[in-house]
Structure formats: C-alpha cells, structure tokens
Amino acid sequence: MKKIDIDTSNLPIAVERSPQKRLFISLPLPREFKELVVAYRQTLRNLPLRMIPFEDLHITLVFLGPTPKEQLPEIKENIQGAMEKFHAARFMLRPLCFEPGPDRAFPNLVWLTLEPSPEITALQDTLREAFEKKENRPFFPHVTIARIRPGSTLWSDKLTPCPVTSTEIFQAKEVDLMESILTQNEARYSLIKRFMR
C-alpha cells in the first residue's frame, strides 16, 4: 500500500478549556455612572487606547482567581451571606479623578478613582474575610476605563489627571460574581450570578 503524506500544519488545533473558572467579585455600576465615563472618553479618542466595553465597566472587590467549578455553590453561598450583613447599607459611589495608572509617569491604563466609602470598604473587608483573601494595602476603588495598546507609549504629559467636576453621588445596589475569560487579545467578562442586598 502506498503511503500518503498529509500536511497537518494548517489543521486547527483543539484546545481543551480548563475545568477551572477565573473568578472575581465586582460592584456593577449604574448606567448614569457609566455615561459619565463615556463622556470623558471622548477626550481620549485620538490616543492609542483600547476602550473597555461599556458593559464591562465595574469595580473589582475581590479577585478569587482560578477556581474549580465544583466550588461555585459554596462561593455563591458565601457571597449571599456577606450581602445579608449589608441589607440596609447604601453603597455610595463618588467619582474623584480620571488619571493614568498604576504608575502616572509610565502608565499602562486609564482609570477613574473613587472615594472609598465606609460601606463599600466594609463590604470588601467582609468578602476578603469570607474567602481568606488578605491584603496588606488599603482598598483602592477604581474603574479601569481604557488600556494602552501594546507597543504604544503614553507619557504623563499626554495623559494628565482630570478631576471630576460633577458633585453627583451614585449608588450601587448589587454585587456580581463574574468570570474573566482570557482571549488572545483581551479579557472578556461573563456574569455568573448577581446578588441583591
């Protein structure tokens, strides 16, 4: 029988998805808050930035990391238990400043910093304790609104801090358990469950 050589170099490679989920807990933002971000981003449209999609804007409370799917019921129960302690709390969001970060001199993203309200700080502390996620640094609430494109450089003279002039204070009412799905170019987020106060 004649041997036939088959070129397999162009065949698709099947990649088995990890049984673990890359999870984090976030504070979803009200639409009016997101519209404040969109209005500011118009001033950045000529810069080499990749804007975070409108629906993905959020405040990260706790990053859980790669987690076996079997732990999801326990995780949901822990979040619900934490939320029940704050049934009468109001999670107030006061935006402070649009600025480059984390290093202002050599930034790789643009974020909106917020005032760390006592209620949100206490919620984060409760969630950290529930999942044994200890942090040595204080809570720094922020919303990542754009990332600098790979290969581009934005120095501080091109991207200066811009304080928020509005005195409006927004309110968040829920907490989300999210999955971060890594793709070749970016991470996209998928809602697993929303928890009400």
Closest CA to 113 of 175, 43, 40: 40
Say which range, 7-16, 55-64, 182-191, has the weakest mean pLDDT. 7-16
**pTM of the predicted model as reported, rounded to 2 decimal places:** 0.84
Do the strands 174-182 and 170-172 form a parallel or antiparallel pair, or are they unpaired? unpaired
Residue 3 has pLDDT above 50, yes or no: no
Using alpha carbons, list the distances in angstroms from residue 44 to 33, 41, 152, 162, 185. 18, 5, 14, 12, 21
- Phi and psi dihedrals of 115, rounded to 5? -70, 130
Token pair belonging to 175: 């907490």
Tell me which of 87 and 46 has the higher pLDDT: 46
**Residue 15 pLDDT > 60, yes or no?**
no
pLDDT of residue 16: 43
pLDDT value for 154: 63
